Structure 1
Amino acid sequence: MFNIFFRKVRQLFKQLKEDIALIKERDPAARSSFEIWLTYSGLHAVHSYRRAHWFYEKKMFTIARIISQVSRFWTGIEIHPGAKIGKGLFIDHGMGVVIGETAEIGDNCLIYQGVTLGGTGKEKGKRHPTLGDNVMVGAGAKVLGPFKIGNNVKIAAGAVVLEEIPDNCTAAGVPARIVRNNGAKVCKELDQIHIPDPVAQEMCSMELKIERLKKELEEMKKNV
C-alpha cells in the first residue's frame, strides 16, 4: 500500500514538473518555474484534481470531494474528481471554470476562465462532453452535453456548444456553429467578433412583413 502511495507521489511530482515546463512554453507572462508553482491557480487546481481523482478511483468518494471543494475555495476552479483529464492541461487564469463528473479531456488542452464543461439535465451515465487532444476553449464558452469535441478544435469565447464538433474545426456563436474547417472559412458572416444578432434579424424581418401587409390592405381598400 505504501509503495503504491509513494509511487503515486513521485508520479505527481513528475507531472508537476512537466506542467510547469508546458506553462512556461505557452504563457508569455510566465517568468520563472517558482512563480508558476506559487501563483498559477490553474496549475494548483489541476494537481488538486489529480490527488482527488486518485482517491475517487479507490472509491474514497468523500475524501475526493473534500479535496476538490477545498481546491475550489482557493482557486475558483471546480473540477469534479470523477472527470478524466489527460496530460498537459493548462487552465489560464481559470476563475469560474467548471468541469463535470463524466467530462473527459485529452492531452495538451487549453481552457480559459469562465468555461463550463457541463450537462443539460439530470440524466444518468455519461452526461458531460469529451474533448480530444489540443483543444482550445475560449473564455466564457459553455460546452453542454455528452458529445465529442474533436482533436485540434478551437471554440470561440462566449460560444455555447450543444452538439459534436469534428476534428480541426473552429466554432463560434450561440448556439455554436462551425466557422472554419481545416483552416477554410465555412461561413463568412459568423466569427468570434462579428456574430449576427438573431433577435434583431427576426424583428427586421417582421417589420418588412408588416409593411408589406399594410400595402396589401391599402391596395384592397382602393379596389373596394
Structure 2
Amino acid sequence: MLNRLIAYLDSVKARDPAPRSRAEILLYPGVWSLAYHRIAHALYRRRLYFLARAVNHWSRFLTANDIHPGAKIGRNLFIDHGFTVIGETAEIGDDVTIYQNVTLGGTDPANGIAGKRHPTIADGVIIGSGAQVLGPIVVGARARVGANAVVTKAVPEGATMVGIPARQVLVDVTAYQREFVPYGTPCSDSFDPATQKLELLQCEVENLRKRLAELIEEKAQREAPAPAPVKERGRA
C-alpha cells in the first residue's frame, strides 16, 4: 500500500513542477478526491448507495471535485486543481491528467434512460482546462483535449482535439513524445489559453508548410531524370 502511494505521488510530481515534496502533494484536492472516490466506489460496488453518496458529497464539499461513486478510475489519475465533474458511467484508464473545470458528462440527461452515458478515457490522455467530454464516446490513448474544447465524438489514439465542437488538428508526431504537454496543447511550451485560437492556427500553418515542402521534395526526386548508364569499353 505504501509503495503504491509513493508511486502515485511520484507520478503527480512528474506532471506538476510546483510541489517541492511528496508531503506537499498530499494536500492537493485532486489527491483527496481520488482517495475518497476509492472508498465511495467500494461502497457503491457493495450496493451501499446511500453511504457511497454520503462519501461523495463529503468529498465534493472538501475538494470541489464531484466524482460519482459509480465511475471506474484506473491508476495515477491526476486532477490538477478542482471543480471537475465525472459522471456515473465514466471510465478512466491509467496515467490520465485532468485540469480544472473539466466535465466528463452524459448526453440527453432528461430522457431518464440508464446505461452507458459517459465517456471512456484511455491511458495517458490529457484533458485541458474547461474541456467538456460528453456522451458514451471513447477518447483514445495518449490523446490531447485542448482547453475549453467540447468533445462529442470519438477521439482517435494520439489525436489532439480543439474547438467547439472539437476537431482534430495536424500536429507533428514528435510533439506527442514529450513527457508533459501544458494545458493539453502541443503548440508551444508558453501556451496561453487566452490566445489559443491564434497559436493553434500558427501551429497548423507551420506543420502544413513543413509537409508541403516534404511533398515538393518527393515530387522533385520522382521527376528527376535518371542518370545515363555508363557504357563499358570493349576490350582491345
TM bucket by the smaller chain? 0.7 to 0.9
Q: Deviations over 1:153-201 (max 9, x none)?
A: 000000000100110100000000011367399xxxxx943379xxxxx
Compared CA separation, residues 63 and 14, structure 1 to 2 (3 A): farther
Which whole-Å deviations, capped at 9, do the CAs of 1:140-161 have from their partners, x for residues lacking one? 0000100100001000000000
Quote the Cα distance in structure 1 between the aligned partners of 2:73 and 2:4.
12
Shift of 1:79: 0.3
* AA partner of residue 103 (structure 2): T
Whole-angstrom CA distance in 2 between matches of 1:158 and 1:24:
25
Counterpart of 2:122? Answer: 132
Of 82, 98, 108, the match for 1:111 = 98
2:47 alignment partner, one of 55, 59, 66: 59
> Cα offset for 1:17?
2.6
Whole-angstrom CA distance in 1 between matches of 2:45 and 2:121: 21
Question: What is the distance in 2 between the residues matched to 1:106 and 1:71?
Answer: 21
The alignment-based identity, stated in percent, is 47
- 2:155 aligned partner: 165
Q: Aligned partners of 2:174 and 2:106: how far apart in 1?
A: 30
Partners of 1:153 and 1:192 in 2: CA distance:
18
Task: Give the residue type in structure 2 aligned to 1:67.
Answer: V
Tell me how many residue pairs correspond in the alignment. Answer: 178
Aligned-partner SS, 2:9: helix
- Larger mean Cα displacement after TM superposition, 121-130 or 16-25: 16-25
Q: Which runs of 5+ in 1 are unaligned?
A: 1-9, 186-190, 197-224
Query: Which consecutive aligned stretches of 4+ in structure 1 deviate over 3 angstroms post-superposition?
Result: none
Question: Does structure 2 conserve the Cα–Cα contact (< 8 Å) formed by 1:19 and 1:43?
Answer: no
Equivalent residues in 2 for 1:1-224 (5 A)?
Answer: 10=1, 13-37=2-26, 39-94=27-82, 96-122=83-109, 123-180=113-170, 183=173, 192-194=196-198
Q: Distance in 1 between matches of 2:60 and 2:4?
A: 20
SS in 2 for 1:42: helix
User: What residue in structure 2 maps to residue 202 of structure 1?
Assistant: none
What per-residue deviation string (whole Å, max 9, x for no partner) do you get for residues 57-97 of structure 1? 11111111111110000000000010000001000112x10
Q: 1:99 to 1:15 in 2, by over 3 A?
A: farther
Equivalents in 1 of 2:164, 2:104: separation in Å?
A: 16
13-22 vs 157-166, greater mean Cα deviation: 13-22
**What CA distance in whole angstroms lies between the structure 2 residues aligned with 1:151 and 1:125?**
23
* CA–CA separation in structure 2 for the residues paired with 1:177 and 1:26: 25
TM-score when normalising by structure 1: 0.75
- Amino acid aligned to 2:120: T
Distance apart, 1:18 and its partner CA: 2.3
Structure 1 residue 35: deviation in Å? 1.3
SS at match of 1:193: helix
Q: Is the 8 A contact 1:169 1:183 kept in 2?
A: no
Shift of 1:36: 1.2
Amino acid at match of 1:177: R
